[in-house]
């Protein structure tokens, strides 16, 4: 059966190169050990150091650190969903608007009359619904993700304004369990921080340990190969956007807890912060390569920067400039990383 | 055409051109001579080196050795722009036009008539109209968007672009492939006019009839070498051309065929399958343990047949049965669930996750095997990938390696392994040895035969006739979307099959 020629060496990947290549990152099995996370951790450490040096009396206080985490929770949960969508080769511009819509819908008088559990369920369902519509338009309606979610951004924000009559809706005292999510502390941390942590951990497991996550990488990395391997790419895309919507619903609960309001102005421009955090975290905007750990670090870096600027009484405009510079630097570094690994 | 091409002044002389890629010497000393005013045809089987030669001529590849002379002067074609400056224009099979720009914009793309960056539109439109008129297509408006034109007209625009560079030499790579019959006549008229104006034309086609009609001389390439220079196109016997194209120097070693066994159950049955524009009324069957080869030219519909069986395309009529039960059309997931596997033609763009490891690529189609409630058992995944790596002798033997660091042959084995981890009934292989070097090919052949011996039905597509004849048990010949012949492989010889796929009938 086997011919003599089968013993010939298959030249291009001769064993000589094996030793040198062994150090390379192994995408599926060792994502966390990736060097770029080290860079992000260093950046975060540097920012903390700056905080300690410039405002030693304010930065390291427990109230400030808890504040940073609570602030990071809202955008962080959204970023988890965004990481899935971008890894799967898409983009979701509607996250801020769907969070606003979920917060408004969950705080209408009718919903509030049903109690806090119904409000939580309402926020999540509204988020999921918005995500489902996005996903259906993109996968079955074949509209490019940028356009479909841009349309949703505008429409969801408009619907939120119409429902709330552009008024900020206060959560009534009998539903103060919602606010308790932000005021109740366990181990010194408010519950919303635990919600964020839970979403991040579940997200990480989903992305890295399940068939759903593996399919997300496949669909984002090479949709044609995924389709020809028998994966239902359209169904998976639908699920990815729905997942992002659910994250928006959870983020809406967190912002309701922190502000005790639902408002059509919540989450303005959050889509840009979330995308920026995902990108500096090391997820490829073209899909197929993503890291949830990196995204979380990206969120923390942005939140600490905001905090530093506030503590030092600097202009918010300078803060925006700093963020822009960081995004560019991160992407340039990543490209070097990518090129050296190919 | 106006002067005797055999005595005319040589416009282009290429001598001793060598171009090597990792693992393969694509060009190994090619000579080519084209005179002004001549239509020179380039013939050769797939992999003979035609496209590499064109790329050298158009400046896209740099030769490792050899010399290119134009009008007696040695030239270096460092990049496509340099080639264009020398008056060499190439019209690729896949037209390189910008759909959103107008006809005139496309013709003058890169050398616009402009003053301080402002294009002189009316002047360009006038010049475009004149060029189109010269090509016999005054009805194409210079201001219409190219995306709105049918394929034949786009080709005219491409040619106008070549003329706008005042090309001395025009290279056409299978220009008739996308054209209907009467459009081909017009193409030939244009080519004749160009030639009579003193332009040298290099014409590449697989269709012998066309070559006889339009060509003056023929150069035949085989395995990266010139085997015949300047044969008269009109009266060289077909038998001679075919024997020049086939007389291989590289011999492949094919595994032995087992005895044909009619008692094996039928796995795949295709009944009256039609995909409009690609193939029509195709019926055949494949038994367990049998390798059936589809032989045909690129564009004959062979890959589409495979993709339709697999559900990647949806047929207008006809059905596909696996183990006697119909398969849901147009769904790859259904095909995979029923036990089919496809190794597609374009390994990198259609099969591999290049960011992922070998193991991740192997498990892609059978992930749920390692999962309970979606949770992946990664050590089992790795262990099974390791088994396949060992069984197929994938080198280097480490399933955690990034798949992109593997050679073409080993990547193809990884694609096969993807289907072997979860027991297939039918494997559809589209050009399984494309871009794979000779040693690795022999291994792949052995692997494919071993799979068949284990009872898998195999349907194989290849552009290389010897491969189909050597590996398959039974051969189906496809031409222009129809199955025109079927026979056991040992009863066919290479020249017969080449004749059939090029001219529609055996000798």
pLDDT at A194: 96
Domain that holds residue A129: 61-341
Give the pLDDT band of residue A28 (cuts 50, 70, 90): very low
A224 contacts in chain B (CB < 8 Å) = 349-350
pLDDT at B17 over 70: yes
Picking from B356, B408, B433, B445 by the largest number of A CB atoms within 10 A of its own CB, the best residue to mutate is B356
CA distance A291 to A21: 22
Determine, for residues B256 and A1 on separate chains, whether the beta-carbon distance falls below 8 Å.
yes
pLDDT at A23: 39
CA atoms within 13 A on the CB side of A88: 32
Domain ranges of chain B: 1-87+167-251, 98-166, 265-339+424-507, 355-423
Give the pLDDT band of residue A211 (cuts 50, 70, 90): very high
pLDDT at A24: 39
CA distance B237 to B231: 10
Q: What is the mean pLDDT of residues B212-231?
A: 88
Closest chain B residue to the Cα of A7, Cα to Cα: B439
Instruction: State pLDDT tens for residues B234-290.
Output: 888 877 887 787 765 455 678 888 877 778 899 999 999 999 988 999 999 999 999
Q: Which range has the worst mean pLDDT, A11-25, A109-123, B32-46, B140-154?
A: A11-25
A319: exposed, middle or buried (C-beta count within 10 Å: 0-12, 13-18, 19+)? Answer: middle
Determine, for residues B355 and A21 on separate chains, whether the beta-carbon distance falls below 8 Å.
no
Question: Are the CB atoms for B255 and B303 separated by under 8 Å?
Answer: no
Widest pairwise Cα distance in chain B: 78
Question: Are the CB atoms for B211 and B233 separated by under 8 Å?
Answer: yes
Residue A101 in any domain: the answer is yes
Sheet containing B279-287, strands listed edge to edge, beginning at the edge strand earlier in sequence? B279-287, B266-275, B317-322, B325-326
B406 contacts in chain A (CB < 8 Å) = 13
Three-state secondary structure call for residue A294: helix
Determine, for residues B374 and A230 on separate chains, whether the beta-carbon distance falls below 8 Å.
no
CB neighbours of residue B274 within 10 Å? 16
pLDDT at B159: 84
CA distance A180 to B34: 86
CA atoms within 13 A on the CB side of B302: 29
CA distance A204 to B3: 74
Closest to A161 (Cα-Cα) out of A153, A149, A150: A153
Two domains, one topology: B1-87+167-251 and B265-339+424-507: yes
Picking from B312, B335, B340, B353 by the largest number of A CB atoms within 10 A of its own CB, the best residue to mutate is B353
Q: Are strands B474-479 and B291-295 parallel, antiparallel or unpaired?
A: parallel
Instruction: State pLDDT tens for residues A65-99.
Output: 998 999 999 999 999 999 999 999 999 999 999 99
Closest to B110 (Cα-Cα) out of B130, B131, B95, B124: B124
A12 closest CB neighbour out of B342, B374, B407: B407
CA distance B285 to B296: 18
Residue A4 in any domain: the answer is no
Give the pLDDT band of residue A13 (cuts 50, 70, 90): very low
Determine, for residues A11 and B364 on separate chains, whether the beta-carbon distance falls below 8 Å.
no
Residue A209 in any domain: the answer is yes
Q: What number of C-beta contacts closer than 8 Å exist between A and B?
A: 154
CA distance B205 to A9: 35
- Tell me how far CA of residue B22 lies from CA of A209, B77, B223, in angstroms: 37, 22, 16
- pLDDT: is A3 or A97 the higher one? A97
Question: Are the CB atoms for B220 and B241 separated by under 8 Å?
Answer: yes
Q: What is the mean pLDDT of residues A255-264?
A: 94
- pLDDT: is A105 or B167 the higher one? A105
Q: What is the mean pLDDT of residues B136-147?
A: 88
B336 closest CB neighbour out of A24, A230, A342: A230
CATH value at residue A256: 1.10.3470
Q: What is the mean pLDDT of residues A151-156?
A: 96
CA distance A222 to B352: 7
What is the ipTM score, two decimals? Answer: 0.75
pLDDT at A264 over 90: yes
CA distance B107 to B122: 14
- Paired strand residues for B274: B317
pLDDT at B95: 66
What homologous superfamily does CATH list for B1-87+167-251? Answer: P-loop containing nucleotide triphosphate hydrolases (3.40.50.300)
Q: Are strands A169-170 and A261-262 parallel, antiparallel or unpaired?
A: antiparallel
CA distance B305 to B477: 12
Residue A113 in any domain: the answer is yes
Sequence-separated (6 or more) residues with CB below 8 Å from residue A61: none
**Chain-centroid distance, C-alpha A6:** 50
- pLDDT: is B183 or A139 the higher one? A139
pLDDT at B5 over 60: no
Q: What pTM did the predictor assign?
A: 0.78
DSSP one-letter code for B395: S
Question: Are the CB atoms for A296 and A197 separated by under 8 Å?
Answer: no
Q: What is the mean pLDDT of residues B35-56?
A: 86
Instruction: State pLDDT tens for residues A321-330.
Output: 888 888 888 8
Residue A318 in any domain: the answer is yes
Question: Are the CB atoms for B57 and B86 separated by under 8 Å?
Answer: no
Three-state secondary structure call for residue A150: helix
CA distance B224 to A69: 65
B333 contacts in chain A (CB < 8 Å) = 230-232
Helix segments in B348-407, DSSP class H = 358-363, 378-391
Determine, for residues B253 and A28 on separate chains, whether the beta-carbon distance falls below 8 Å.
no
A8 contacts in chain B (CB < 8 Å) = 439, 442
Instruction: State pLDDT tens for residues A217-259.
Output: 999 999 999 999 999 999 999 999 999 999 999 999 999 999 9
Question: Are the CB atoms for A318 and A326 separated by under 8 Å?
Answer: no
- Tell me how far CA of residue A195 lies from CA of A131, A199, A275, in angstroms: 20, 6, 21
Determine, for residues A227 and B332 on separate chains, whether the beta-carbon distance falls below 8 Å.
yes
pLDDT at B7: 54
B292: left (phi > 0), else alpha (psi -120 to 50), else beta? Answer: beta
Share of chain A above pLDDT 70, in %: 87
Question: Are the CB atoms for B443 and B433 separated by under 8 Å?
Answer: no
CA distance B131 to A228: 45
Q: Tell which CATH classification among 3.60.21.10, 3.20.20.70, 3.40.50.720, 3.40.50.300 matches the domain B265-339+424-507.
A: 3.40.50.300
pLDDT at B35 over 70: yes
B374 closest CB neighbour out of A13, A212, A226: A212
Give the pLDDT band of residue B99 (cuts 50, 70, 90): confident
Question: Are the CB atoms for B305 and B318 separated by under 8 Å?
Answer: no
CB neighbours of residue B6 within 10 Å? 11
pLDDT at B451 over 70: yes
Helix segments in chain A, DSSP class H = 16-21, 35-54, 56-59, 62-87, 95-106, 109-113, 116-139, 145-164, 177-183, 191-209, 211-221, 223-228, 233-259, 270-281, 292-311, 316-341
| Distinct helix (H) and strand (E) counts, chain B | 16, 24
CB neighbours of residue A49 within 10 Å? 11
Determine, for residues A231 and B354 on separate chains, whether the beta-carbon distance falls below 8 Å.
no
pLDDT at A164: 93
Residue A43 in any domain: the answer is no
Share of chain A above pLDDT 90, in %: 61
pLDDT at A7: 35
A1 closest CB neighbour out of B357, B402, B450: B450
pLDDT at B286: 95
Residue A109 in any domain: the answer is yes
User: Average model confidence (pLDDT) for chain B?
Assistant: 86
Closest chain A residue to the Cα of B402, Cα to Cα: A26
Instruction: State pLDDT tens for residues A164-184.
Output: 999 999 999 888 899 989 888
Residues 172-231 of A with CB under 8 A from B: 209-212, 214-215, 217-218, 221-222, 224-231
**Domain count for chain A:** 1
User: Average model confidence (pLDDT) for chain A?
Assistant: 86
Determine, for residues A11 and B335 on separate chains, whether the beta-carbon distance falls below 8 Å.
no
pLDDT at A160 over 50: yes
Give the pLDDT band of residue A38 (cuts 50, 70, 90): confident
DSSP string, B420-444: HTT--SEEEEESTTTT--HHHHHHH
Residue A41 in any domain: the answer is no
pLDDT at B94: 64
Residue B293 Cα, gap to closest chain A Cα (Å): 20
Q: What is the mean pLDDT of residues B319-327?
A: 95
Instruction: Spell out a b/e string for A265-285, using b for 16 or more CB atoms within 10 Å of the CB, else e.
Output: bbbeebbebbbbbbbbbbbbe
- pLDDT: is A337 or B421 the higher one? B421
Instruction: State pLDDT tens for residues B477-507.
Output: 998 899 999 999 989 988 888 888 877 766 5
Instruction: State pLDDT tens for residues B72-97.
Output: 889 888 888 888 888 898 887 666 78
- Paired strand residues for B28: B18
CA distance B208 to B241: 9
């Amino acid at each position: 059966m086997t011919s003599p020629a089968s013993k010939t060496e298959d030249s291009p990947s001769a064993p000589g190169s094996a030793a040198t290549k062994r150090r390379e990152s192994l995408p599926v099995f060792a994502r966390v050990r990736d060097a770029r996370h080290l860079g992000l951790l260093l950046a975060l450490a540097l920012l903390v150091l700056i905080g300690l040096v410039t405002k030693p009396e304010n930065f390291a206080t427990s109230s400030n650190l808890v504040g940073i985490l609570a602030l990071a929770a809202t955008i962080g949960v959204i970023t988890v969903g965004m990481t899935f969508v971008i890894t799967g080769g898409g983009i979701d511009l509607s996250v801020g608007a769907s969070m606003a819509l979920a917060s408004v819908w969950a705080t209408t008088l009718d919903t509030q009359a049903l109690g806090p559990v119904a409000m939580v369920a309402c926020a999540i369902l509204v988020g999921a619904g918005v995500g489902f519509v996005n996903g259906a338009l993109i996968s079955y309606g074949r509209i490019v993700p940028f356009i479909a979610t841009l349309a949703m951004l505008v429409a969801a924000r408009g619907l939120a304004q119409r429902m709330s009559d552009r008024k900020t809706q206060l959560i009534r005292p009998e539903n103060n369990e919602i606010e308790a999510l932000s005021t109740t502390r366990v181990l010194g941390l408010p519950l919303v921080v635990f919600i964020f942590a839970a979403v991040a951990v579940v997200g990480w497991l989903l992305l890295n340990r399940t068939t759903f996550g593996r399919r997300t990488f496949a669909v984002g990395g090479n949709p044609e190969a995924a389709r020809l391997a028998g994966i239902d790419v359209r169904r998976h895309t639908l699920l990815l956007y729905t997942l992002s919507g659910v994250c928006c619903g959870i983020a809406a609960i967190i912002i309701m807890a922190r502000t005790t309001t639902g408002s059509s102005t919540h989450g303005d421009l959050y889509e840009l912060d979330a995308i920026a955090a995902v990108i500096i975290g090391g997820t490829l905007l073209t899909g197929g390569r993503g890291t949830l750990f990196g995204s979380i670090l990206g969120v923390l870096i942005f939140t600490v920067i905001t905090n530093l600027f506030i503590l030092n009484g600097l202009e918010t405009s300078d803060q925006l400039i700093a963020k822009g510079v960081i995004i560019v630097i991160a992407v340039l570094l990543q490209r070097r990383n990518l090129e050296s690994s190919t | 055409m106006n002067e005797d091409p055999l005595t005319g002044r040589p416009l282009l002389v290429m001598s001793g051109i060598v171009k090597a890629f990792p693992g393969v010497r694509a060009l190994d000393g090619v000579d080519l001579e084209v005179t002004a005013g001549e239509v020179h045809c380039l013939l050769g089987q797939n992999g003979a080196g035609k496209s590499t030669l064109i790329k050298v001529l158009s400046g896209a590849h740099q030769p490792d050795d050899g010399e290119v002379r134009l009008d007696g002067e040695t030239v270096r074609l460092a990049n496509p722009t340099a080639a264009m400056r020398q008056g060499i224009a190439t019209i690729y099979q896949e037209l390189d036009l910008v759909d959103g720009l107008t006809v005139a914009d496309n013709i003058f793309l890169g050398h616009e008539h402009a003053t301080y960056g402002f294009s002189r539109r009316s002047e360009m439109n006038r010049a475009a109209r004149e060029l189109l008129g010269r090509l016999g297509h005054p009805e194409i408006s210079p201001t219409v968007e190219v995306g709105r034109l049918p394929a034949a007209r786009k080709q005219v625009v491409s040619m106008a672009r070549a003329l706008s560079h005042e090309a001395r030499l025009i290279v056409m790579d299978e220009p008739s492939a996308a054209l209907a019959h009467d459009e081909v006549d017009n193409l030939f008229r244009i080519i004749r006019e160009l030639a009579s104006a003193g332009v040298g034309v290099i014409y590449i086609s697989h269709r012998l009839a066309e070559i006889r009609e339009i060509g003056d001389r023929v150069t035949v390439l085989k395995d990266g070498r010139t085997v015949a220079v300047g044969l008269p196109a009109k009266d060289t016997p077909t038998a001679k051309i075919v024997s020049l194209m086939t007389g291989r120097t590289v011999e492949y070693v094919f595994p032995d065929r087992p005895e044909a066994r009619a008692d094996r159950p039928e796995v795949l049955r295709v009944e009256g399958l039609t995909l409009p524009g690609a193939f029509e009324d195709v019926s055949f069957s494949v038994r367990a343990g049998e390798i059936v080869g589809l032989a045909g030219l690129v564009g004959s519909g062979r890959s589409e047949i495979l993709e339709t069986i697999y559900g990647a395309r949806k047929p207008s009529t006809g059905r596909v049965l696996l183990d006697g039960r119909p398969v849901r059309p147009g769904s790859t997931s259904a095909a995979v669930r029923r036990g089919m596997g496809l190794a597609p033609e374009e390994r990198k763009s259609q099969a591999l996750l290049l960011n992922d490891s070998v193991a991740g690529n192997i498990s892609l189609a059978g992930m749920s095997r390692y999962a309970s409630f979606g949770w992946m058992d990664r050590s089992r995944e790795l262990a099974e990938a390791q088994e396949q790596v060992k069984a197929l002798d994938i080198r280097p033997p480490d399933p955690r390696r990034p798949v992109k660091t593997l050679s073409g042959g080993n990547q193809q084995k990884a694609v096969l392994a993807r289907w072997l981890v979860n027991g297939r009934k039918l494997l559809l292989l589209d050009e399984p040895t494309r871009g794979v070097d000779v040693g690795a090919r022999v291994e792949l052949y052995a692997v494919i035969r071993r799979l068949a011996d284990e009872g898998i039905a195999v349907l194989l597509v290849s552009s290389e006739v010897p491969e189909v004849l050597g590996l398959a048990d039974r051969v189906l010949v496809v031409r222009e979307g129809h199955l025109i012949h079927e026979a056991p492989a040992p009863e066919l010889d290479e020249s017969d099959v080449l004749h059939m796929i090029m001219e529609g009938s055996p000798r």
